[in-house]
């Protein structure tokens, strides 16, 4: 018998949602429940892969409600199967429909040493997860996950730019070497392009996509989390994405980081001091981040004509 309030997430599997969760927590709960259900209903499955593995590890994805990928020895007819669409509750009490999510089964099996167990879920380890996402997801989605993996693996300090773990160059070399094991795997060009621009310094998917768009448009490389010391009072500020020589700062406004009126006042004060130091500040919201071609066009408009003439869009980052 199905309990009251339970929602169907897969054939024969139901989720009893936890009460009073924020929308993003509801989405994450549903994703992890679907992931567990996928392994439960496929006893021969080796592990979860791609975004489901990333979310289980605690990495950041562009969407918190992705398709569920599993690695299986044999795929039954139809490797992709739609899952029930769920309904969630917004903070204002209104309900909204989630994404159309599918279960995706693949016979590309990771090695035993490439599988971890996280909170009872078998998942690809961080490096294999980075490789799979870079190969198989659109570049603008993959970079969010790969950046998050770089961030936690490198353990970079934005003040010193030093790392407690491997340097970005060392991690990049390791991942590129892993790609050599799959000479015929689709998506290798895209994967190499994504790994080439991965950074441990992006602090949100929005910042990752901003940086992706700069590279994809062929514009001059910027510094993520650029450190700047105010000339007024020596306060230290970190710019989401900056060109110090051009005094150009790109800021992603996810709004979550502005918790209240005090946070908003502090951000306004920060912006005013940066402007008095000669910085030009351009802000970007999710509505723009979700439109890649319009985003690239706006970024290009921020640069002088000679830079635009020499811009060479990176085709592999648009794959």
Instruction: Express each pLDDT in 38-81 by its tens digit.
Output: 999 999 999 999 999 999 999 999 999 999 999 999 977 667 99
Check residue 1 and give its pLDDT. Answer: 61
Spatial separation of the C-alpha atoms in residues 89 and 300, rounded to whole Å? 38
pLDDT for residue 258: 46
Mark the ranges of the chain whose per-residue pLDDT is less than 50.
257-258
Are 225 and 240 a contacting pair, CB within 8 Å? Answer: yes
Looking at residue 268, its pLDDT comes to 86
CATH architecture of the region 1-124: Roll (3.10)
User: Tell me, what's the pLDDT at 207?
Assistant: 97
Q: Regarding the domain delimited by 208-317, which CATH topology (the fold level of the hierarchy) does it fall under? A: Endonuclease; Chain A (3.40.960)
Is residue 6 a contact partner of residue 14, using CB atoms and an 8 Å limit? yes
The token duo for 128 is: 């294999």
Q: What are phi and psi of 233, to 5 degrees?
A: -140, 15
Report whether 72 contacts 44 (CB < 8 A): yes
Q: Are 158 and 166 in contact (CB under 8 A)?
A: no
DSSP 8-state class, residue 156: B
Q: What is the pLDDT of residue 259?
A: 53
* Alpha carbon separation from 205 to 22, 132, 159, 236, 251 (Å, rounded): 19, 18, 21, 23, 12
Of 159, 23, 197, 173, nearest to 93 by C-alpha is: 23
Quote the pLDDT of residue 264.
Answer: 78
- CATH 3.10.450, the chain: domain bounds: 1-124
What is the spatial distance between Cα 225 and Cα 31, in angstroms, rounded to a whole number? 30
State the number of CA atoms in the 13 A half-sphere of 162 facing the CB: 2
Tell me the Ramachandran region of residue 122: left when phi exceeds 0, alpha when psi lies from -120 to 50, beta otherwise.
beta
Span(s) in the chain for CATH 3.40.960: 208-317
Three-state DSSP class for residue 133: helix
* C-alpha span between 159 and 286 (Å, rounded): 27
- Residue whose token pair is 């592999």: 316
pLDDT at 255: 55
284 touches 295 (CB < 8 A) = yes
């Amino acid at each position: 018998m199905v309990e009251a309030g339970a929602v169907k997430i897969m054939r024969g599997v139901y989720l009893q949602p936890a009460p009073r969760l924020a929308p993003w927590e509801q989405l994450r709960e549903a994703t992890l429940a679907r992931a567990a259900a996928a392994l439960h209903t496929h006893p021969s499955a080796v592990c979860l892969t791609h975004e489901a593995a990333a979310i289980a590890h605690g990495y950041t994805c562009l969407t918190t409600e992705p398709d569920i990928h599993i690695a299986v020895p044999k795929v039954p007819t139809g490797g992709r199967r739609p899952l029930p669409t769920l309904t969630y509750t917004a903070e204002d009490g209104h309900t909204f429909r989630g994404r159309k999510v599918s279960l995706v089964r693949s016979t590309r099996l990771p090695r035993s040493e490439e599988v971890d167990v996280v909170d009872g879920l078998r998942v690809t380890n961080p490096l294999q997860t980075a490789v799979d996402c870079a190969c198989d997801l659109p570049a603008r989605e993959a970079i969010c996950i790969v950046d998050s993996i770089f961030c936690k693996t490198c353990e970079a300090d934005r003040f010193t730019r030093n790392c407690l773990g491997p340097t970005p160059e060392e991690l990049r070399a390791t991942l590129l070497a892993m790609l050599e094991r799959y000479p015929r795997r689709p998506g290798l060009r895209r994967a190499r392009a994504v790994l080439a621009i991965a950074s441990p310094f992006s602090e949100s998917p929005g910042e990752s996509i901003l940086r992706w768009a700069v590279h994809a448009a062929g514009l001059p490389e910027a510094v993520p989390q650029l450190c700047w010391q105010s000339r007024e009072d020596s306060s230290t500020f970190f710019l989401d994405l900056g060109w110090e020589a051009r005094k150009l700062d790109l800021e992603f406004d996810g709004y979550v980081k502005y918790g209240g009126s005090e946070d908003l006042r502090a951000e306004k004060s920060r912006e005013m001091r940066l402007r008095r130091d000669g910085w030009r500040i351009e802000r970007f919201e999710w509505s723009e981040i979700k439109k890649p071609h319009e985003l690239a066009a706006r970024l290009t408009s921020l640069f002088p004509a000679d830079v635009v003439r020499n811009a060479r869009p990176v085709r592999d980052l648009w794959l």
